[in-house]
Amino acid sequence: MDLQLTGKVAIITGASRGIGRAIAERLSQEGMRLVLAARSADRLQEVAAACGPGVRIFPADLREEAAPARLIAFAVEAFGGLDLLVNNAGATKRGDFLRLTEEDWQDGFALKFYSAVRCARAAWPHLAASQGAIVNIVGVGGRTGSAEFAIGGAVNAGVLNLTKVLADRGIREGVRVNAINPGYILTDRLNARLDLHANEKRTSREEAALEVSRGYGLARFGQPGEIATAVAYLASPVASYCQGAILDVDGGQTRTL
């Protein structure tokens, strides 16, 4: 299927590894021109090389208040416009609610929530001009609370509500805004947990993945590329009637309505 993305311009935050890298690779395959943002310049260079021509990198810490606006300006100057913003940056600390510090909470909101707000605000006029789209990569913890995921759950719920708010405005101004909630995806963090489990149980990596996924009530864990495919769909004109949609890509983990 032709997703009609060839030649369009996308910004991807958190693009240096995992889901962000998979999104970059998929969108480059669709012929998009990309600006990749993350803190590690070396890792961004690796991703850019894997994606091929038509890619720029923007090493920055998006927790800094002025960094998102600089990112948007950089993309527009590099490519002359903007068609897609993928807000993917941000990981939050897990742990006991009573042990999480003020700094932990502030850091959790600074990268994932406030950078999404600031990127969307700076990108909006350009997306309105191109009739473009925003796709927020959020997480199932925003829909189902967990005692060990207090910060992440609160941040994710905020980004989901932000998605609905921006989608409401976007109806009038021609900007489509949707969100994806990944479940357990085989990124570096989950792979490290599975390696530890395999060592403790003295079992194979494959058996560890099967055992742990079944413990969560899942048939298997997801692949970063599966999230990237969903992003490509929501970014494209093929999904033009999706507005404010929240897509759970989680293997059935979310069982609530």
Of the candidate CATH numbers 3.40.50.720, 1.10.287.110, 3.20.20.80, 3.90.1570.10, the domain formed by 9-185+223-249 belongs to 3.40.50.720
pLDDT value of position 74? 98
* Cα–chain center distance at 40: 17
Q: Residue 190 — very low, low, confident or very high, per pLDDT cuts 50/70/90? A: confident
User: Is the pLDDT reported for residue 194 higher than 90?
Assistant: no
The model's pLDDT over 201-256, given as tens digits with 9 standing for 90+, comes to: 788 888 888 888 998 899 999 999 999 999 999 999 999 999 999 999 999 999 98
Q: Which residues contact 29 (CB under 8 A, 6 or more apart)?
A: none
Contact 208, 136 (CB under 8 A): no
Strand partners, 129: none
Q: What is the pLDDT of residue 200?
A: 81
Q: Is the pLDDT of residue 177 over 80?
A: yes
What six digits make up the tokens of 208? 């560890």
Q: Of 191, 99, 93, nearest to 141 (Cα)?
A: 93
SS3 10: strand
With a pLDDT cut of 90, the percent of the chain lying above it is 84
**What is the Cα–Cα distance from 177 to 162, expressed in whole angstroms?**
10
The Cβ-side half-sphere exposure at 257, using a 13 Å CA radius, reads: 0
Enumerate the domain spans of the chain. Answer: 9-185+223-249, 186-221
pLDDT tens-place string over residues 113-140: 999 999 999 999 999 999 999 999 999 9
Q: For residue 62, what pLDDT is reported? A: 97
Q: How far is residue 68 from each of residues 12, 63, 76, 150, measured CA to CA in Å?
A: 12, 8, 13, 26
How far apart CA 221 and CA 209 sit, in angstroms, is 8
* Least confident residue range of 50-64, 92-106, 185-199: 185-199
Q: What pLDDT is stored for residue 192 in this prediction?
A: 84
